[in-house]
Chain A
Amino acid sequence: MSEILDLTAAAAGAAVRSGELGASELFEFYRQRAQDDQLNAFTWVAEATPGEAAIDGPLSGVPLAVKDLFCTKGIVSQSGSRILEGFRPPYSATVVEQLENAGAPLFAKTNQDEFAMGSSNENSAFGPVFNPWDVTRVPGGSSGGSAAAVAAGSAPWALGTDTGGSIRQPASFCGIVGLKPTYGAVSRYGMIAFASSLDQAGVLTRDVTDAALLLSEMVGRDPRDSTSLEYPGSLVLPTGRDLSGIRLGVPEELTEGVEGIEPGVRAVFDDALRTAESMGATVETCRLPHAPHALSAYYLIAPAEASANLSRYDGVRFGLRVEGDGDLKEMYERTRSAGFGPEVKRRIMLGTYALSSGYYDAYYGRAQRVRTKIAEDFNTAFESFDFIVTPTSPSVAFKLGARTADPLAMYLSDYFTVPMSLAGIPAISIPAGLSEGLPVGLQIAGPAFSEQRILEAAYALEGAFAFDASGARRSGSK
């Protein structure tokens, strides 16, 4: 069935529409691939293939894998955590419903870092995910299962979520496309929250066209999410061929003299910029003066919100409960001690501390002010530039276990992606080349609601890069 394996989601959909391929056959193909997965990318795989009638719509029955943290009615939704082990919500996330209605049936759920806290997928209660390019390496995180599944060809496309880079960084590590939309463009209803003001659903796909296709059915205001917004206009499949007149800004603060950016990554990035110039773009240094503080602000704001979002896991109504000799407080402590992993506990403590009276202004309050400054920096930069470009991550996929003992080294993995998250702006990662045989992603960020323009530019560059990911697609599944 190698023909099916090599079809992008859009191409598979076209084949279904033209009658060359049965939707059930397509579903069954991927269901089987997921069942045979060797990367620990999945936490649930459908047991049967639905009938043809259920998979009608613009997405033509191309089956969808979604990150574990999206609630799926009657199907385990555990956010990678022991505390939600076996939790089957009586409702589905808005975005999952939207995509099912548009003809993308759910066929599998993917592994992730617990509560989306992590950059390597090593924080999952259900075990680490392996990178299909090199199974001794991490796939990135927190949407590591989705990224590995798409890269390994065990899912045609997948949903992920991005809080500080959790779509873009694993997309970069796995050599696929990952797009985080504008904050508010896609409903958060039914997404098990990590940090509410940053969490955003997005797509992980084989190419830019698939990203545009999937995203076009996700955006829009949801009355169940007050922070969601009416999407201005609609998204269409990109057709961009060149970059003439496009002004690319390379933030000096993020790329000059930054320690830890790997030379191989730097080289791929520089090549990508030269390619862009050859396609008509201008490349200049830009300023994001507050961006170097983004990571510090992020690691106060996100844990603070998480510390409250995770309070509902108290053993009273759902999920894990460990009884405490008749004492309420003991039940809370035992349940949460047993249910949460170390990284989650670390962030709950960090967030609780940042919000404590007497520390609020110095930590949370200050971080919010930095966040405002960063958003202002981007606004200023976009007066002179169409897009800001950076490497997606300072490194290629690292070895399993290489950074687990050093949280700060792990956090640095999101150095280039966190500023955009704080500003709430859209950004895509596309594979731009290889370093030491491993993929390197290029990040393109634009102003709020500039997804269509980002997709056009990414589509043009994708054609020029001609990145070959077919090797990874043949590994990872029996």
Chain B
Amino acid sequence: MTTSYEPVIGLEIHVQLSTKTKMFCACELSFGEQPNSRTCPVCLGMPGTLPVVNARAIDFGLLIGLALGSEIAPRSIFHRKNYFYPDLPKGYQISQFDIPLCLGGRLGEVAIHRVHLEEDAAKLTHQGTSGRINDADSSVVDFNRGGTPLVEIVTEPDIYSAAQAREWLTLLRTTLRQLGVSDVNMEEGSLRCDANISIRPVGETTLGTKTELKNMNSFRFIERGIDAEIARQVALVEAGQTVAQETLHFDPASGTLTSLRSKEDSHDYRYFPEPDLVPIVVTQAMLAQAHAALPELPAQRAQRFELDFALTAEIARMLAFRTELGDYFEAAVGSRDCDDPAAIASWVTGELVARLGDGDPGDSKVTPQALSKLVGLVSTKQLTSGAGKSVLDRLVADGGDPAAVMESEGLAAMDSGDELAEAVADAIAANPDAVAKLRDGKEQAIGALIGHVMRETKGRADGGEVTRLVREQLGL
């Protein structure tokens, strides 16, 4: 008997906050300026300088905590996390340790362990062939990024597939974007994700030895990387070997995982309370302000879509987890040209997304009102759904009014009069093989006849009506 394995995944997400200034000094955040132009004695770790906490970063941390349903610590403290590295000017990172700003919480189906504030490291570039510090010809440091406010969000090991990890990250990203606390751009590094992965036989409740997958820079790579690591662990265990605790790097180009001889694996960070800072004391006023600033969040929006518009959970999430889709959908429903929100939702998430991909429909030539009208025409059978798709193609390309496109292209649905009966008769005459099969009881052969009619009528015919007419004319 073979054992089947279940993966258990926890995520650690670093989010750069979009405050105006850095976490502990007055330098403005950098967006590709000249290296080392956004620095000061504090963020360069010069002797005698002291950190001062950015109050805005705390406000953002509170917003995130509230959005994730965390418990907010009335008094939290910063620690020093000690290690030597050239990207760390003080020789320690100011972070939070045993008393983080936010504890616990939940987003969607995933439980949150903690949320804490810290500062980002500087950016190191290694010159030479390997791209690693140890055999680089030289390395240069750009301190512009050093000291950027970061929030670290740690989930519980509460995710059970790579696809779920990806979907949940999408929800998190939308939530953070909705909060206005970060650019959440993975390519630019404002959202970074590490995954802790272990496997266990299905039915077990204890966790297996975990490995850490570091710094994956797109949602697609995260999914692929996690899948690759799960496969690696299963293969190891099935071959009678054990999984070693290590940090891994996923190379998306080759699909391979390599072990990082990590500076951190066996590191003792010697955490201790940062004596240069006083505790963060969250006042009622700060909490009230954060509550007031809290917008509707994707998870709440999805729930509202389900209840108010009778959408399926899946469609509601597809709309709500992509803010721009949700906004477009609500605008289309609001235009009152169609009284079937579920049909609008289905057209937005299906046909429209198929044509626009990741693009924002709000930026397309199809206005929400035009889409709403189009769906209305289909719902009232003035347009078949096939012809509706052709109209949508034209709207995506050129914009305009769907009824006008329908008229000018002659795509209006045919009524079941003589014209349709003639088209059916033509199809029967042109497809003797299919007719013979159909008479033999091979029902699927009718498809060829319907297809013929649809081609000839440019999709204007109603499929059900065509079927009825075929049977009538063949006397079946």
B-binding residues in A (CB < 8 A): 69-71, 77, 79, 84, 87, 89-91, 93, 188-193, 195-197, 223-227, 304-305, 307-308, 310-312, 314, 316-318, 327-328, 332, 352, 355-357, 360, 364
B89 touches A89 (CB 8 A): no
12 of the cross-chain contacts (CB-CB < 8 Å) are A69-B48, A71-B47, A89-B46, A90-B41, A224-B52, A226-B52, A226-B276, A227-B278, A308-B82, A328-B134, A355-B272, A356-B270
Q: Which residues of B line the A interface, CB within 8 A?
A: 41, 44-53, 80, 82, 84, 86, 89-92, 133-134, 139, 141, 268, 270-272, 275-278
Q: Which residues of B contact A327 (CB under 8 A)?
A: 134
- Chain B min CB distance to A372 (Å): 13
**Chain A binding surface SS class:** loop
Pick from A79, A225, A316: contact of B50, CB under 8 Å: A225
Known: A77-B47, A226-B51, A317-B45. 19 other contacts (CB 8 A): A91-B46, A190-B48, A193-B48, A197-B275, A225-B50, A226-B50, A226-B53, A227-B276, A304-B272, A308-B82, A308-B270, A311-B82, A311-B92, A312-B47, A312-B91, A316-B141, A356-B268, A357-B268, A364-B272
| Interchain CA distance A227-B44 in the complex, whole Å | 20
Complex contacts, A304 vs chain B, CB 8 Å? 272
Task: Please tell me if the beta carbons of B48 and A312 are within 8 angstroms of each other in the complex.
Answer: no
Are the C-beta atoms of A328 and B270 separated by less than 8 Å? no
Q: Total A-B residue pairs with C-beta atoms closer than 8 Å? A: 106
Q: Report Cα–Cα, A317/B143, bound state, in Å.
A: 11
CA A360 to CA B275, docked complex, whole Å? 16
Contact A93 B50 (CB under 8 A): no
Report chain B residues within 8 Å CB of A71.
Answer: 47-48
B52 surroundings in chain A (CB, below 8 A) = 223-226
* Docked complex Cα distance between A196 and B80 (Å): 12
Report the Cα distance A93→B92, complex, angstroms.
22
Residue of B nearest to A84 (CB): B47
**Bound CA span A197–B77, Å:** 15
Q: How far is the CA of A327 from the CA of B52 in the complex (A)?
A: 34
CB distance from A190 to the nearest CB of B (A): 4
What is the chain A residue whose CB lies nearest that of B137?
Answer: A326
What CA separation (Å) do A189 and B50 show in the bound complex? 6
A196 — which chain B residues lie within 8 A by C-beta?
A: 275-276
Structural contact, A328 and B133, CB atoms closer than 8 A: yes
Measured CB to CB, the closest approach of chain B to A426, in angstroms, equals 19
B95 to chain A, nearest CB (A): 13
Min CB distance, A222 to chain B, in Å? 9
Contact B48 A332 (CB under 8 A): no
Which 7 A-B pairs give the minimum distances between C-beta atoms? A311-B91, A197-B275, A196-B275, A355-B270, A192-B47, A190-B48, A71-B48
Docked complex Cα distance between A390 and B276 (Å)? 30
Are B277 and A191 touching (Cβ within 8 A)?
no
Q: Which of B49, B86, B133, B134 contacts A189 (CB 8 A)?
A: B49
Residue numbers in B under 8 Å from A226 (CB-CB): 50-53, 276-278
- Chain B nearest CB from A307 CB (Å) reads 8
Contact residues in B for A318 (Cβ distance below 8 Å): 46-47
A56 to B277, CA, bound (A): 35
Whose C-beta in chain B lies nearest to the C-beta of A115? B47
Determine which residue in B44, B82, B84, B141 has the highest number of CB atoms from chain A within 10 A of its CB, and name it: B84
Q: Which of A89, A356, A360 contacts B47 (CB 8 A)?
A: A89
Inter-chain contact B270/A314, CB cutoff 8 Å: no
Looking at the complex, which one of A70, A192, A314, A357 makes contact with B91 (CB distance below 8 Å)? A314
Tell me whether A308 and B272 are in contact in the complex, defined as CB-CB below 8 angstroms, given that A314-B91, A328-B133 are known contacts. Answer: yes
- Give the distance to chain A from B213, nearest Cβ to Cβ, in Å: 25
C-alpha spacing A197/B277, complex, angstroms: 10
Q: A311-B84, A355-B270 are in contact. Are A224 and B46 (CB under 8 A)?
A: no
Q: Name the residue of chain B whose CB is nearest to the CB of A331.
A: B86
Residues of chain B with a CB closer than 8 A to A355's CB: 82, 270-272
A209 to B325, alpha carbons, bound, how many Å?
Answer: 74
Q: In the complex, A91 Cα to B270 Cα: how many Å? A: 30
A226–B86 alpha-carbon span in the complex (Å): 26
Cβ contact of A91, chosen from B41, B53, B86, cutoff 8 A: B41
In the bound complex, do residue A352 and residue B270 qualify as a contact, i.e. CB atoms below 8 Å apart? yes
Name the A residues within 8 Å of B44 (CB-CB). Answer: 317
* Nearest-CB residue, chain A, relative to B133: A328
- A89–B42 alpha-carbon span in the complex (Å): 12
Which of chain B's residues have a CB closer than 8 A to the CB of A193? 47-48, 276
Q: Which residue of chain B lies nearest to A311 when distances are taken between CB atoms in the complex?
A: B91
B128 to chain A, nearest CB (A): 10
List, in ascending order, chain A residues with CB within 8 A of B277's CB. 226-227
B89 proximity list for chain A (CB < 8 A): 312, 316-317
B409 to chain A, nearest CB (A): 68
Asked if A224 meets B50 with Cβ closer than 8 Å, knowing A308-B82, A312-B90, A352-B270, the reply is yes
A197 to B50, CA, bound (A): 12
Nearest Cβ on chain A to B372's Cβ, whole angstroms: 55
Interface centre among B46, B48, B270 (most CB of A within 10 A): B48
* Residues of B with C-beta under 8 A to A328: 86, 133-134, 139
